[in-house]
Amino acid sequence: MACVLLFSRIPPFSHRLTRTSICLLSMFLSYLCYCALFPADTIMQKAGDPTPGCQRVLADGAKRRIQKPASCALQLDARPSSVEASRLKSDQRPPSTLHVDTPSPPMGNLKFGNKKLPNAIIVGVKKGGTRAVLEFIRIHPDVRAAGTETHFFDRNYDRGLEWYRGLMPRTLESQLTMEKTPSYFVTKETPQRISAMSRDTKLIVVVRDPVTRAISDYTQTLSKTPDLPSFQDLAFRNQSLGIVDVSWNAIRIGLYALHLENWLRFFPLAQIHFVSGERLITDPAGELARVQDFLGLKRIVTDKHFYFNRTKGFPCLKKPESSGSPRCLGKSKGRTHVQIDRDAIEQLRDFYRPYNVKFYEMVGHDFKWE
């Protein structure tokens, strides 16, 4: 219409134009008016572009549009997949609220918490029941523990604390980090080294009748070395005179009072908790209750978690809801002991008695190893 009005205002010179020329001029002026009303990029835009006003980046890096409205939520250089296209079609929200979800990383790749130096360490003793205490206390949701013995403070100390930290599990701020290495209790340098790491470290010692412990130690070694000399040959320098060989490791470990004296040079007694290996068998829930109290934990591990395995002669953990079978300790636990001459046993009891009495006095508890 505007073109017709404009054409009507042209001075009369139509007598000079042919009918065809007038027609062509009208079409040209109509085109100019149309271009003025509708921008070229709107005309040329492809029907497949989901958000017309958004900036589009071409393959050569040139930009077709330099303005990008805030309502754009989809990048035009990334075409939606067929699944996404179907989802977008079914979404009834206004186009300005559509968004592309960033996929979450697989749960197996997520790492929660940090690796920390241990707050508590089970430092001994070998064949006393340390593995049982560790497995039982790990039921507690606020405890994380290294699964294997690290032997950091007795064999790998030169590797440094950062190496040691790397062996620990990741824990949340509210959780305790633990490890257990039974040989720590009898290693002279260990108390000072742990104290240098942290004087606040809590220590757990699982003790057992030293005679029974020595026989259990020998039984385990014999299973790996069948040609081992007899127990009596290793335990005595002269059995007829009752002279015990304290250089044999199986005997030396049972001198609890001597080892404890070394620990008390660096840690107060209140920072060391003693677990009875015998009561751990007869009353695991009771012993674990005291361990939880010592660590400042709520009593979550209770008698409902245990049952007595008559075959092994040892308590096992009841079947967890996520598992198909109960969880007992390994085959090396609850192994039948080698039969030892009764006279040798009585001689060893006489040898250990003064050390046991001194140990009872030091810790303020009678373990009744008679």
Catalytic residues: 127
Asked if 33 and 3 touch (Cβ cutoff 8 Å), the reply is yes
CA distance 195 to 250: 27
State yes or no: 129 annotated in a binding site: yes
For residue 115, the cross-strand partners are: 170
CA distance 333 to 350: 27
Asked if 280 and 206 touch (Cβ cutoff 8 Å), the reply is yes
CA distance 125 to 265: 19
| Residue (of 147, 155, 142, 71) closest to 113 by Cα position | 142
Q: Is the peptide bond before 338 cis (omega within 30 degrees of 0)?
A: no
CA distance 133 to 260: 20
CA distance 29 to 1: 11
State yes or no: 252 annotated in a binding site: no
State yes or no: 237 annotated in a binding site: no
CA distance 152 to 353: 33
State yes or no: 208 annotated in a binding site: yes
State yes or no: 187 annotated in a binding site: no
* Distance, CA of 166 to chain centre: 12
State yes or no: 336 annotated in a binding site: yes
State yes or no: 42 annotated in a binding site: no
State yes or no: 131 annotated in a binding site: yes
Contacts of 128 (CB under 8 A, 6+ apart): 182, 205, 206, 207, 208, 213, 275, 277
**What's phi and psi for 4, nearest 5 deg?**
-65, -45
Asked if 219 and 338 touch (Cβ cutoff 8 Å), the reply is yes
CA distance 54 to 65: 7
Asked if 255 and 246 touch (Cβ cutoff 8 Å), the reply is yes
CA distance 176 to 22: 95
Binding residues for 3'-phosphoadenylyl sulfate: 127-131, 208, 216, 333-337
Annotated binding site: 127-131, 208, 216, 333-337
